[in-house]
Each structure stands twice: as C-alpha cells, then as structure tokens.
Amino acid sequence: TAANAAQLHDAIQSAQTDAPLVITITQGFPITESTESLKIRNGRDITVKDNGTRITLDCKYRSQDKHKFFCVESGGKLTLQGKITLKGVNNGNNEQYALYVEKFGTAEIKNTVEITGFLNNGYGCVYIMGTLTMSGGKIAGNKARWGGGVYIESVGIFEMKGGSIESNQAENLGRAMYISGTFNWTGGTITGH
C-alpha cells in the first residue's frame, strides 16, 4: 500500500523482476518537487489501483525541465486501474507528462482511471513511444502544444479498446491526439478531435 508519494516511489522501486506487484493507494496525495519520477524499470510488472474509493494524485511538480510522472522504461509494464485520478496543473511553457511510455515499454489504462488538468507546452499529457492499451478510463480536459490528450511517437502503438478521450485542446494540431505512429481503434469514444 501507499499513502504518500514517498511510499509510492519506494514501493515501485522495490519491485522485483518476474514478480508482478500490485500497489493499492489508500488516500489521495500530491506528487511535488521532492519526488522523482515514478519509474517502472525493465522487467517490472506493476499495477497501481485504488482502495475502493476515488483517489486523486495531484501532480504538482513545477520545473523548467521535462518531467514524467509515471514513466515506463524499456521492458517495464504498468497498469493503472480502478478509481485513480492523475490531476495536473497549468505548467506554462514547460513539459509535463502524466504517463510516458518509452520504447519497448508497455502500459494499460483500465476501468475509471482519469487523466485530467495537464496544461503545458509539451506533446500530449500521455506520450507513447512503446505500447499503450486503453480499455477504459478517461483522458479529458488537458492541453498541450501537439496532441492535447495523447501523442503517439513514430514508433509508438496505441490500442484503444474502451474509455474516452474528450475535451482536450492543442495549440497546434490534434486536440484529442497527434498520431505519428500506430493507432488501432476498436472501442471507446473520441470527441473534440
């Protein structure tokens, strides 16, 4: 279990290869400047879920550098499920990513997970270089320079099977998403594209 950002970070870092780990968030908390990115390393398979109630993680890190809150590194796997909300802030011209999936990393968004409120000058609030599956949840109310909700890099793969992408904005192209890579859409809804 994790009740604050430090405990969540420590739990993620304690994960062992070939041993799937489920982390239950017991209450909402902020993720601030004192917490480094929550990195899912090679060979780790981690699920982050709620405790049965809506849990909000306030992603409040403010920096002039690119920052990735949940970062799935090459060979890592992350599942976000249940009633988890990742809530961003207005970060002006800086880049902030709720979820960043590196090349050969995999992630899934399930159930009623929400990603909202990320306003910045980056490439979507969800950045895909590896593979992301969305079988549920919502990506809504975000704004970026390219791809307000999701940015799919040239080598990235986005499998959308459910959930919704809605009410996002972009300074340039792709209010819902910007597609340079592969987008397979078999379910879910996309509005405001």
Give residue-wise pLDDT tens across range 65-98: 678 899 999 999 999 999 999 999 888 888 889 9
Q: How far is CA 11 from the centre of its chain?
A: 18
Q: Residues 129-176: pLDDT tens digits?
A: 999 999 999 999 999 999 999 999 999 999 999 999 999 999 998 999
Q: What does each C-alpha distance from 150 to 14, 22, 122, 169, 185 come to in angstroms?
A: 29, 25, 11, 11, 13
Q: Residues 47-59: pLDDT tens digits?
A: 999 999 999 999 9
Residue 25 has pLDDT above 70, yes or no: yes
Taking each continuous run of H as one helix and of E as one strand, the counts in the chain are: 1, 20
Would you state the pLDDT for residue 11?
95
